[in-house]
DNA sequence: TTGTGTTTTATTGCCTCC
DNA sequence: GGAGGCAATAAAACACAA
């Protein structure tokens, strides 16, 4: 690129040419001055700040191994050689960078004076330093984001695991429930004759015909049996839904069908199964991923609905 | 010593702001 | 339009293993 091009201005401006208004004079004075002892004996910039600056700021251009006529001669015969800043200079610049990573013109000039560099060099140093800082910052941000991502991923996987466990538990409990219900259903079938007498008295809403009362009676619970779970809910012929099917329910069109409110998010397919099911919609298990589980019903017969919401019927003992 | 990778210094071109 | 910042890049200086 163009850096190979001879840049006369830069050469003249560059600190490798002594950094004073009179470069050559400064060089010779400094190089031959007894006070010039190389960077090892160079005044620290703390000292510089304390006012112990040498009269001529040219104290930063030669390392300890670079004084002497031979070096000077070599120096001037080199086309344009890059020279690194001394450790002290870099340290000083670093401190200033920490204070403020942008450089106002006055500050630039002052720093250049303090360091014995060209203002342009100070500006370039700050520019490069900002670039390095930005790279580091990006790496840091990347690390933080990666950590955050890993953490979220772990959390997500834990939740998935937990979900699977809950799913298994639900299936297990449902199986138990069905077995229990089946046993109970068999018992009730054998007592069919007395069943109607034992059923609680139900006041059926106007819309429910007398012939449908028996259907309703399958759905309702006896208050004293509430603690025995939802056993009264299920028909003894309810299909096992571990395979994805659902237990039977009264036909939605049937006036005894009292759970319409919860169908909003049930698909048509699910509705079809649903219509054959005795389970209320709250007990239908679509893909668990798609479900927001309602709070557990306080009353096992309410299936998530407040009992008083069902104006169709009420209990009387 | 030398080859190679990394760091540092410096340039260039483009962009934005005043 | 000039000054200054930034990204991309070159190239010297440096570090280090073989």
* CA A123 to C1' C3, whole Å: 13
Q: Assess whether pLDDT exceeds 60 at residue A146.
A: yes
A172 backbone φψ class: left, alpha, beta (φ>0; ψ -120 to 50) = alpha
More confidently predicted of A115 and A37: A115
The answer to whether the beta carbons of residues A12 and A58 sit under 8 Å apart is: no
Between A101 and A45, the more confident residue is: A101
Mean pLDDT on A82-106: 92
Q: Is the pLDDT of residue A276 over 90?
A: no
- Say what the pLDDT of residue A14 is: 38
The backbone torsions φ and ψ at residue A168, rounded to the nearest 5 degrees and listed phi first, read -60, -40
Q: Chain centroid to CA A234: how far?
A: 45
**When comparing pLDDT for A281 and A170, which is higher?**
A170
The residues with which A277 forms a beta bridge, in sequence order, are: A248
pLDDT in the model for residue A80: 58
Through-space separation of residue A126 CA and nucleotide B8 C1' in angstroms: 12
pLDDT of residue A189: 67
Task: Give residue A307's pLDDT.
Answer: 32
Q: List the helix and strand counts (H, then E) for chain A.
A: 10, 2
Chain C, protein-covered positions (CB within 7 A): 3-14
- How long, in residues, is chain A? 317
Percentage of chain A beyond pLDDT 90 is 28
Q: Which residue minimizes Cα–C1' distance to B9?
A: A82
Residue A233 has pLDDT above 60, yes or no: no
Point out the residue nearest to B8 (C-alpha to C1'): A84
Q: Which nucleotide is nearest to A105 (CA to C1')?
A: C4
A248 CA vs B11 C1’ separation (Å): 82
How far apart, in whole angstroms, are the C-alpha atoms of residue A300 and residue A195?
A: 22
Residues 152-171 of A with CB under 7 A from strand C: none
Each residue's pLDDT tens digit, A241-270: 333 333 333 333 333 333 333 333 333 333
Q: Is the pLDDT of residue A188 over 60?
A: yes
Distance A2 CA to B11 C1' (A): 7
Please tell me which residue, A209 or A99, carries the higher pLDDT value: A99
The mean of the pLDDT values for chain A is 55
**Cβ of residue A15 lies below 7 Å from strand B:** yes
- A3: Cβ under 7 Å from strand B? yes
Query: Is residue A208 very low, low, confident or very high in pLDDT (cuts 50, 70, 90)?
Result: very low
Position A63 scores a pLDDT of 36
Contact A39, A63 (CB under 8 A): yes
A135: CB within 7 A of chain C nucleic strand = no
What is the structure's pLDDT at A29? 27
In A124-224 the beta strands, taken as DSSP E runs, fall at 201-204
Q: How far apart are CA A93 and CA A105, in angstroms?
A: 15
Q: Are strands A201-204 and A313-316 parallel, antiparallel or unpaired?
A: antiparallel
- Residue A131 CB closer than 7 angstroms to strand C? yes
Q: For residue A16, what pLDDT is reported?
A: 33
Q: Is the CB of A173 under 7 A from strand C?
A: no
Say whether the CB atom of A105 is under 7 angstroms from strand C. yes
Hey, which CATH number is domain A85-156, 1.10.10.60, 3.40.50.970, 3.40.50.720, 3.90.1150.10? 1.10.10.60
Q: What is the DSSP string of A24-42?
A: HHHHHHHHH-TT---GGGP
Q: Which nucleotide is nearest to A81 (CA to C1')?
A: C12
Band the pLDDT of A185: cuts 50, 70, 90: confident
> Of the segments A64-78, A145-159, A181-195, which one has the largest average pLDDT value?
A145-159
Is pLDDT at A105 greater than 70 in this prediction? Answer: yes
The pLDDT score that the predictor gives to residue A96 is: 94
A181 burial via Cβ count (<10 Å: 0-12, 13-18, 19+): buried
Q: What does the longest C-alpha to C-alpha distance in chain A come to?
A: 127
Token readout for A58 is: 């040219």
Q: Is the CB of A83 under 7 A from strand C?
A: yes
The predicted pLDDT at position A93 comes to 96
Q: Which nucleotides of B are covered by protein (CB under 7 A)?
A: 8-13
3-state secondary structure of A248: strand
Q: Calculate ∠ Cα A75-A80-A82, nearest 5°.
A: 90
In this prediction the pTM is 0.47
Q: How confident is the model at residue A40 (pLDDT cuts 50, 70, 90)?
A: very low
Tell me, what's the pLDDT at A83?
84
Q: How many angstroms separate the CA of A233 from the C1' of C13?
A: 86
A37-41, A67-71, A255-259, A279-283: least confidently modelled range: A37-41
Mean pLDDT of A145-174: 96
> Is A168 in a helix, a strand, or coil?
helix
Per-residue flag: A103 CB under 7 A of strand C: yes
Distance A55 CA to C14 C1' (A): 32
pLDDT of A82? 76
What's the CA gap between A252 and A240, in Å, rounded? Answer: 20
Residue A204, phi then psi, degrees to nearest 5: -90, 140
Q: Angle at the Cα of A115 (from A112 to A120), degrees rounded to 5?
A: 30
Contact status, residue A108 vs residue A119, Cβ threshold 8 Å: yes
pLDDT of residue A187: 76
């Amino acid at each position: 690129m163009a850096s190979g091009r001879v840049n006369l201005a830069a050469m003249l401006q560059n600190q490798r040419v002594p950094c004073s208004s009179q470069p050559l004079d400064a060089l010779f004075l400094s190089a031959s001055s007894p006070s010039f002892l190389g960077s090892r004996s160079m005044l620290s910039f703390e000292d510089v700040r304390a006012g112990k600056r040498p009269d001529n700021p040219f104290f930063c251009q030669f390392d300890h191994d670079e004084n002497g006529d031979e070096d000077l001669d070599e120096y001037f015969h080199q086309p344009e050689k890059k020279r690194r800043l001394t450790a002290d200079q870099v340290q000083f610049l670093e401190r200033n960078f920490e204070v403020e990573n942008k450089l106002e013109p006055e500050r630039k000039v002052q720093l250049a004076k303090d360091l014995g560099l060209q203002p342009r060099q100070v500006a370039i140093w700050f520019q490069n330093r900002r670039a390095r800082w930005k790279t580091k910052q990006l790496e840091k941000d990347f690390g933080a984001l990666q950590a955050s991502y890993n953490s979220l991923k772990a959390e997500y996987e834990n939740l998935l695991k937990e979900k699977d466990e809950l799913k298994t538990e639900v299936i297990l409990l449902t199986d138990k429930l069905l077995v229990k219900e089946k046993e109970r259903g068999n018992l009730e079938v054998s007592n069919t004759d007395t069943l109607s007498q034992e059923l609680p008295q139900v006041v059926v809403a106007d819309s429910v015909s007398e012939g449908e009362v028996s259907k309703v009676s399958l759905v309702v619970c006896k208050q004293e049996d509430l603690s025995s779970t939802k056993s009264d809910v299920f028909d003894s012929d309810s299909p096992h839904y571990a395979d994805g099917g659902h237990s039977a329910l009264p036909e939605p069109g049937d006036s005894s069908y009292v759970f319409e409110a919860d169908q909003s998010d049930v698909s048509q397919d699910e509705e079809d199964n649903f219509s054959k099911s005795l389970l209320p919609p709250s007990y239908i298990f679509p893909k668990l991923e798609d479900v927001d589980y309602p709070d557990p019903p306080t009353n096992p017969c309410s299936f998530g609905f407040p009992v008083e919401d069902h104006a169709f019927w009420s209990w009387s003992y």
